Amino acid sequence: MHDAVARSYRDHHALIADAVAEAQWQDHAGQHTQQTELAGVEAKIAKTNGKIDRYLTAFENGTLNDELVGQRLAGLRATGKQLATRRDELAAALDAQPKTEDEHRRHRRPPTPEGHDHNGEPQARPH
């Protein structure tokens, strides 16, 4: 069986290379999507903070009553917390992405049946 698997890898090199290239492209596309979403979330955070500042300024100037300002600020702060949570999730996901080609190879390849990475180092098995 081992010979059959080895022959399969040897004989289907182009197919395997295409599959690896597709996986790399999908990883890159996913990372780009996360970067785009992160930029959008950061823009929304800045916009929400700007709204909060404007409400506080209007309240300080006496042009809004405290009940209206209180309700609106509570909603804006809740939105801000949700956006900050999503920003942190995206930033963590991007930080976890491999930075070099070697990291990328280790990240993409599952451990061997013996539980080692492909450099012989012990590696935790995914659950």
Span between the terminal Cα atoms of the chain, in Å: 27
Percentage with pLDDT > 70 across the chain: 54
| Higher pLDDT pick, 5 / 82 | 82
Amino acid in position 16: I
Q: Please answer whether residues 22 and 14 qualify as being in contact, where contact means their C-beta atoms are separated by less than 8 angstroms.
A: no
Paired tokens of 43? 């823009």
| Higher pLDDT pick, 10 / 69 | 69
Question: Tell me: the pLDDT tens digits for 64-84?
Answer: 888 888 999 999 999 999 999
